[in-house]
Structure 1
Amino acid sequence: MHAFSHGTSSTPTAVAVPPALSLPVIEAEFPRHLHPYWPRLQENTRSWLREKRLMPADKVQEYADGLCYTDLMAGYYIGAPDEVMQAIADYSAWFFVWDDRHDRDVVHGRPAAWRRLRFQLHEALDSPREHLYHPDPLVAGFADSVVRLYSFLGEKWNARFARHFHAVIEAYDREFRNRTSGTVPTVEEYLQLRRLTFAHWIWTDLLETSAGYELPAAVRNSSVYRRAALLSQEFAAWYNDLCSLPKEIAGDEVHNLGISLIHHEGLTLEGAVTDMRQRVEGCVTEFLEAEEELDEFADSLADGSVRGKELSDAVKSCLGNMRNWFSSVYWFHHESGRYTVDSWDDRSTPPYVNNEAAGES
């Protein structure tokens, strides 16, 4: 099957999906959408990465569009006001750069640099305005993102976002320790950790900024809302693992669902791939059921009042974008230069990272 890539030029190009990674149900039942602000989004995020010194200017020029970070977000948060869409896209680009810094700190054995960054990010999350001019561009860029994201909804939403991201930072630290010690987590340990390192609840929180509405706890914490949200995120995390498994085995990684299945469950590589595909496909099937239930739940919130109608519409907006996440994640993995490992000069070193300087300033 092919899709049309929007990632590198104004002229769409066909992208082939390897048979082992093809999911016909996504291609058939999850139409792809793109936020109309996307062309400006791509241009502005390029500029932001340069201005915040998150990537060297030459690497931004050569690689930023092909990495498709803005495509991923523009295919997800449909309906978001342009300002919100831009803030989310910049934050997402920052997240990928942070993930790369974390990886380089592991690869180059820089525990002191990682520990310093970990504590600085915790501090910036709680007082972002005080860190806008931090000497480490990664901390300053994070602070800039957080200030903008905190401007859209209320203090309760901001506190929830901070609580969720503090947990993400600590999960990255657990991953750092696992990788440096060669510890492969059990399947259950990995699934719990993955929900944090993939930032399931962060991307779910941002659905509310897209809808322009802070959902009450009774709705967010309802089993029907959480089930649909979790399934969309689990699909994304596990599909990422499926696509990344060959390169992560080659790189002696310890964090991948397939690696945990092989190491702790005694599965062969083929058996692990089969298991992962079943889990990924199961997420899609279960989401289609959860989607109907949440849609009915949203209808029940429209009680004839203005507030009820607004709440119902907001939940439907969040649900629609949970659905969009499936197609956006799926095509991102086949269009982004982040996954074209076989084309790199050095399979262990992404060409878009500043490998020497990362974490050393």
Structure 2
Amino acid sequence: MQENTRSWLLERQLMPADKVAEYADGLCYTDLMAGYYLGAPEEVMQAIADYSAWFFVWDDRHDRDVVHGRASSWRRLRFRLHAALDSPAAHLRHRDPLVAGLADGVARLYAFLPGTWNARFARHFHAVIEAYDREFHNRVEGRIPGVEEYLALRRLTFAHWIWTDLLEASAGCELPVAVRKHPAYRRAALLSQEFAAWYNDLCSLPKELAGDEVHNLGISLIAHEGMTLEEAVEELRRRIEECISEFLVVEKDVLVLADRLDDGTVRGRELGTAVRACLGNMRNWFSSVYWFHHESGRYMVDSWDDRSTPPYVDNEAAGEK
């Protein structure tokens, strides 16, 4: 999978060849997904891994557009991504590799489950793109959102519901609304994603403080709750640990739900099995995210020449030449 994703990044020109050769494997993007969506068919797992690599490259482009004040470049990209999400086939050969890469990624993901799942995935990702736009303007203006505003926005910029949707693709079963919105299932999904987002904030804090960032839970706590850096770090850790302890409680309720769904019918057995698979992978997200942040070159800021400028990024605005 790692080799295939590396080849895909090259083929799609999403990273310069020299940066792919030097950094792609060490960034561990594929490893992160491989530790999350266990049990997925190989074709599904590869599509998720490639989409994940695309997401990180997009995040880096967004960051560089902010740093270099490329507002018009970001605006064009934002609208093109919305269009590619709605009609991927029409954007497979777009001159901006990031647009073409998204088109290829979602076209493959759309092949696995029914159109209702595709429409939900697209709806969730449209919201993510708009959240990135809000983050762009906050960063350009130097505006640090309040804690509650930040937490709501972070659920979108971290794409909580996208990664949760992909659990169903991994399990090969679209879950009905009543299951997805069951309080225990939804709470378990949210807790696994909140852990990931907040642990990411904790590990990104040195890089983001060095880059005068405004989007980090630690930074919001310092700016709006009057905390020192040490107190903010301690509060982040407390929230992260609470995600783990609460998940262990609600996990039991989801297992009860799965048992109830498995009522002896073929459909009931399918749903019960799918819910158990999705829940098991929510649990896997904790360990995979923890491992990723301590192994990926994305967070080893002390080894960078400039703690605010990752060595694996391309400062050019691709597609704008």
Give me the TM-score of the superposition, normalised by structure 2: 0.99
Q: Does 1:320 align with 2:264?
A: no
Aligned match of 2:66 = 106
**Deviation for aligned residue 1:351:** 1.1
Relative to structure 1, the CA distance from residue 359 to residue 259 in structure 2 (aligned partners, 3 Å threshold; closer, same or farther) is farther
**Aligned residue in 1 for 2:129:** 169
**CA positional deviation for 1:348:** 2.2
Q: How many residues align?
A: 321
Residue 245 of structure 1 pairs with residue 205 of structure 2: yes
1:65 and 2:25 are equivalent in the alignment? yes
Letter in 2 for 1:147: A
Matches of 1:356 and 1:143 in 2, distance apart? 21
Corresponding letter in the other structure for 1:263:
A
Q: State the shift of 1:148 in Å.
A: 0.2
Q: CA deviation at 1:251?
A: 1.4
* 1:265 aligns to 2:225 (yes or no): yes
Does residue 303 of structure 2 align to residue 343 of structure 1?
yes
2:117 aligned with 1:160, yes or no?
no
CA deviation after TM superposition for structure 1 residue 153, in Å: 0.1
Q: Distance in 1 between matches of 2:316 and 2:267?
A: 54
Structure 1 residue 250, shift from structure 2 partner:
1.9
> C-alpha distance in 2, partners of 1:182/1:359?
27
Where does the alignment leave 5 or more consecutive residues of structure 1 unmatched? 1-40
Query: Structure 1 residue 249: deviation in Å?
Result: 1.4
- State yes or no: 1:311 paired with 2:271: yes
Give the unaligned 5+ runs of structure 2: none
Match of 1:301 among 261, 278, 285: 261
From the two aligned structures, give the one with the greater helix fraction.
2
What is the Cα deviation at residue 358 of structure 1? 4.2
Deviation by residue 1:136-195 (Cα, 9 ceiling, x = unmatched): 000000000010000000000000000000000000000000000000000000000000
Code of the residue aligned with 1:218 in structure 2: it is: A
State the distance in 1 between where 2:147 and 2:209 align. Answer: 16
Aligned twin of 2:148: 188
Tell me by how many angstroms 1:353 deviates: 1.2
Q: For 2:307 and 2:68, locate their aligned partners in 1 and report how far apart those are by CA, in whole Å.
A: 15
Query: Percent identity over the alignment?
Result: 79
> 1:123 is paired with a residue of what secondary structure?
helix
Give deviations 1:207-235, integer Å, cap 9, x for gaps: 00000000000000110110000000000
In structure 2, the CA distance between the partners of 1:359 and 1:175, relative to structure 1 (3 Å rule), is farther
Tell me the equivalent position of 1:136: 96
- Cα RMSD between the aligned structures? 0.8
Decide whether the 8 Å contact of 1:105 with 1:359 is kept in 2.
no
1:179 to 116, 119, 139: 139
Give the 3 Å change call, closer, same or farther, for CA 104–189 of structure 1 in structure 2: same
Structure 1 partner of 2:245: 285
**Counterparts in 2 of 1:250 and 1:349: CA distance versus 1, 3 Å:** closer
